[in-house]
Amino acid sequence: MSTGNIKTSKKEFAYMQIKHSIMNNEFTSDTSLTEAFLCERFGFSRTPVREALQRLASEGFVTFYPEKGFFVAQLSLEDFLQIYEMREALEGMGARLCSMRITRSELQTLSHLLDKCIESYQKNDLKMAKEYDTEFHRFIIHSSKNSRIEATIKNLIELSKCIVVQSDDSLSSQDIDALQQLLNALRDSNESLAEELMRKRVAASKKYHFNRYYMGEYN
């Protein structure tokens, strides 16, 4: 392995570790994310930490204040609405592209994921059912064959998790029906319907989390 690859690996690992801690709410809003603090916490050298912070700032996970340093970004209601607005548009487009480009093998993978989701739901294993639901959606976006849309959606979903930090394993029979309808639209190469159904799923998620998080239902 070359020196360049080792350096890249260290940079990526530092980035992933710090972001994981942010997404798991391990830092308070007043924690100063100094290079010294993060180096001691994770055992990194300064260079990969510095580059990780710059990358996280560009993605919206941390904010830099002159003469103060980096802090975990405090995302507002407006941020929440904008993130979901972007998710609805991009995930809808991802589903449309997927309906045009998905292969028979990929359709089989989606069908298998849905079967496992239904099986887990019927066993009342809602945590596992939700994981299959998430993977089902992730695979649709992956099958759009547009890496830029996929990367942007991944970033937006991670940002939305920073706002809604509470874990939630809820899944209903209506959700299962929606997944089946979406799979049918993809099988039929129905571009408009696939986009519409995906947008509805994202809109439903926005409404659910808005009601629970911003209307005080978590309390």
CATH code: domain 77-214 is 1.20.120.530
Q: What are phi and psi of 28, to 5 degrees?
A: -80, 165
Per-residue pLDDT of the chain (219 residues; tens, 9 = 90+): 344 444 457 889 999 999 989 888 888 888 899 999 999 999 999 999 999 999 999 988 899 999 899 999 888 889 889 999 999 999 999 999 999 999 999 999 999 999 999 999 999 999 899 999 999 999 999 999 999 999 999 999 888 877 665 545 578 899 999 999 999 999 999 999 999 999 999 999 888 888 877 775 444
pLDDT tens digits for range 177-202: 999 999 999 999 999 999 999 999 99
DSSP character for 211?
I
Instruction: Locate 112 and state its tokens.
Output: 């298998």
* Predicted local confidence at residue 210, as pLDDT: 84
CA 144/CA 194 separation, integer angstroms: 12
pLDDT the model gives residue 24? 80
**DSSP string across 145-210:** T-HHHHHHHHHHHHHHHHHS-S------HHHHHHHHHHHHHHHTT-HHHHHHHHHHHHHHHHHHHI
Kind and range of the H or E run holding 62: strand 62-65
Q: What gap in Å lies between CA 79 and CA 84, rounded to an integer?
A: 9
**For the chain, how big is the Rg over CA atoms in Å?**
19
CA–CA separation, 57 vs 21, rounded Å? 15
Q: Domain 3-72 maps to which CATH number in 3.40.50.970, 3.30.70.2860, 1.10.10.10, 1.10.150.120? A: 1.10.10.10
SS3 assignment for 73-131: CCCCHHHHHHHHHHHHHHHHHHHHHHHHHCCHHHHHHHHHHHHHHHHHHHCCCHHHHHH
| Domain definitions of the chain by residue range | 3-72, 77-214
Is the dihedral angle over the CA atoms 105, 108, 112, 113 positive or is it negative?
A: positive
Domains 3-72 and 77-214 share a fold: no
Please give the pLDDT value at position 23: 83
For residue 117, the model assigns a pLDDT of 96
Q: pTM of this prediction?
A: 0.78
pLDDT tens, 10-48? 889 999 999 989 888 888 888 899 999 999 999 999 999
In this structure, the number of other CB atoms found within 10 A of the CB of residue 63 comes to 16
Helix (H, G, I), strand (E, B) or coil at 63: strand
